[in-house]
Structure 1
């Protein structure tokens, strides 16, 4: 399918799980009523196409800026909201940039939205603990529920990763970019039911948008702590994360004292300020909090809060075009950094480094899909990387990417 809507009847093999970013009051009560999917290369403006789909299904995404969070009726059959996923490649299309190498999970749409109604009981179409019905239109491929994860293979060796870091440093030396994020891909074969493993990923501590989303032939889980964009109570907000250390007392001191990490972080904060300032109908952009230290699993990470008041009409399409792909996973200037990424990364970013979250009847909340994994019928896919500046040490950057991937790998393996 190129793009369009799908009735629930075509998704008979997919379990309905907790969508990323969905309100706690609605969890366990979601019933999918309409589906949208779009693949890179299909043509058209994905931001406009998904906006039209959501508006046609009752969500006021053409003027989300003035919406104030409020309590809506929640009886059986009433509109709950929509899960929205946008790949890094789709973000590149929206930004007018080269999307880079093809996704290693080609069955996952580049834009995917599911509209949900409230239900007295969730729409579960498989029995946990017995057999797993591999997502797919045929509904005939059953596998045992036991879970076995095979060995991991990386898209590049540590030496190749370090060489990419050095290549970015050389590009900075030439004045092509100020900072570029480089990301590697990990893949492992599996057998059995992946859903318990995906739920373990989504439940990792610090996962602000923890959840699972799936379609025909694929599923993804996110443990992302990072807000790409939130619209709530008349403000548009982003919370960029940049800077990592082990979650120890000495690690916290190191992070706070690191001139390299702070400089890298401030560059991305300035980029995000510029992204929000490009939006129509917003007032002055301000930094509400700078370089605050937050914890994700066993890592400290530096986070800032950037926001602006919404003073006029603001639609979802304009919002997606302004913030996708997220600056903390591209670099600065954004288009030049994306060109470096397309040149250096050997595998597409797939479901990672995009947007993933919830559009409600009274708010919008999209996370940046870092710490995110995908499964197809045979393999698990994960991604990890980091921002590179002139002061980056290649070996340290390789180690940082491994540290970010380690909790994800452990959660997948632990069953």
Structure 2
């Protein structure tokens, strides 16, 4: 069932609001006023539902070129969209079972300002995190890489991102662990979003889409190496990584061109190396001017799911993803961030974990091209998830 309205005191987690990309100066005074939660089974268009819900609560984003005024107390809203909802928007519904079905596929939470609150004194019960159980074995992961490479050889696709999942039982309160995750170095979209019986912790460095002053920006990340001098040199000189990266930049340019004024799509930075925890990653910045009349719903349809976690061409890659991955992507590879008058800032939910009432869930993967080595791809996914799992465990 869809849930609309604020949670009661009894069920709302008693933590300071820490939604990714929320204004730092507001986080200790934000109060939830309304909430929309939606699952795929509810039916309807999640992009339209989000746009209409925000408009009904004083945040009209049906024309992103038109300045939106702050209400008397409205600060903004957190927005979360799952990978499965993004695939539906793209026209390629997923069929794999979701490992954490209690998580919504869309959540929009409206906040305004209340009295400034001091953080509560820590009184956490003992935290225990059990062993991780993978959704596929390394051999199955490697076999999926080979299947994608065969599809590339046939000319069906150019690149596909493959993602694996793992779950671990826990006892105690998962929120401190998820908040630690959001504090990892390089987490541009670090933070936590909570609901009744679920929570998402994000340490993503990647911008899915940012909009302000009529400008649309995306910052795709593709290409990973250990954060050593040797790793940086390898990333900068890798023909495979650069080719993979440029394919996704071209895909993002095409996505923005669908919603931009003609001739305004530019690449500001190409293959810039940045650090996240103990990894180097390559990032580019693509920018465009929003077309006249562009609204939030059309923006989400054009950019979700993000090209760096799907592949190229996007629709063909999504079809191969649906056939290859044994479980759904859940809270990962979706969108999570902040929407306010005059600004949209949504991160792509890589380096993300979720908690339901029984287990913590993580996801990790990488882009597969013809030059991919299956063993190396399995190792890269493990390297990406290692800091996440260590942080959740408290190490």
TM tier relative to shorter chain: over 0.9
Q: What is the aligned partner in structure 2 of residue 158 from structure 1?
A: 138
Please give the alpha-carbon distance, in whole angstroms, between the structure 2 residues aligned to 1:220 and 1:277.
31
Unaligned runs of 5+ in 1: 132-144
1:209 to 175, 189, 192: 189
1:87 paired with 2:82, answer yes
1:299 paired with 2:298, answer no
1:130 to 123, 130, 133: 123
1:332 paired with 2:325, answer no
Q: 2:293 aligns to what SS in structure 1?
A: coil
CA shift digits 1:31-54 (9 cap, x unpaired): 000000110122111110111000
Q: 2:40 aligns to what SS in structure 1?
A: coil
8 Å Cα contact 1:88-1:350 kept in structure 2: yes
8 Å Cα contact 1:6-1:36 kept in structure 2: yes
Please give the alpha-carbon distance, in whole angstroms, between the structure 1 residues aligned to 2:232 and 2:10.
46
Please give the alpha-carbon distance, in whole angstroms, between the structure 1 residues aligned to 2:117 and 2:110.
14
CA shift digits 1:21-74 (9 cap, x unpaired): 111121211100000011012211111011100010011211123448x9x68x
1:348 paired with 2:328, answer yes
| TM-score, normalised with respect to structure 2 | 0.96
- Structure 1 pair 264/326, CA: closer, same or farther in 2 (3 Å)? same
Deviation, structure 1 residue 120: 1.6
Please give the alpha-carbon distance, in whole angstroms, between the structure 2 residues aligned to 1:361 and 1:122.
24
CA shift digits 1:166-214 (9 cap, x unpaired): 1100010111110000000011000011111111100000000100001
Please give the alpha-carbon distance, in whole angstroms, between the structure 1 residues aligned to 2:190 and 2:272.
21
Q: What is the aligned partner in structure 2 of residue 270 from structure 1?
A: 250
2:116 to 113, 121, 124: 121
Please give the alpha-carbon distance, in whole angstroms, between the structure 1 residues aligned to 2:295 and 2:238.
39
Deviation, structure 1 residue 5: 1.3
| TM-score, normalised with respect to structure 1 | 0.92
8 Å Cα contact 1:31-1:123 kept in structure 2: no
Deviation, structure 1 residue 94: 0.6
CA shift digits 1:114-169 (9 cap, x unpaired): 00001122498xx65336xxxxxxxxxxxxx1100000110111111110111100
Please give the alpha-carbon distance, in whole angstroms, between the structure 1 residues aligned to 2:42 and 2:97.
14
Deviation, structure 1 residue 8: 3.2
Please give the alpha-carbon distance, in whole angstroms, between the structure 1 residues aligned to 2:113 and 2:261.
32
Q: How many residues align?
A: 394
- Structure 1 pair 229/91, CA: closer, same or farther in 2 (3 Å)? same
Q: What is the aligned partner in structure 2 of residue 323 from structure 1?
A: 303
Alignment of 1:10-409 (within 5 A): 12-16=11-15, 17-67=17-67, 78-122=73-117, 129-130=122-123, 145-279=125-259, 281=261, 283-409=263-389
Please give the alpha-carbon distance, in whole angstroms, between the structure 1 residues aligned to 2:368 and 2:6.
44
- Structure 1 pair 311/170, CA: closer, same or farther in 2 (3 Å)? closer
- Structure 1 pair 169/323, CA: closer, same or farther in 2 (3 Å)? same
Q: What is the aligned partner in structure 2 of residue 135 from structure 1?
A: none
8 Å Cα contact 1:11-1:215 kept in structure 2: no
CA shift digits 1:89-124 (9 cap, x unpaired): 000111110223121111111000100001122498
Measured on the aligned residues, the alpha-carbon RMSD in Å equals 1.7
- Structure 1 pair 311/335, CA: closer, same or farther in 2 (3 Å)? closer
8 Å Cα contact 2:259-2:291 kept in structure 1: no
Q: 2:8 aligns to what SS in structure 1?
A: helix
Please give the alpha-carbon distance, in whole angstroms, between the structure 2 residues aligned to 1:341 and 1:10.
40
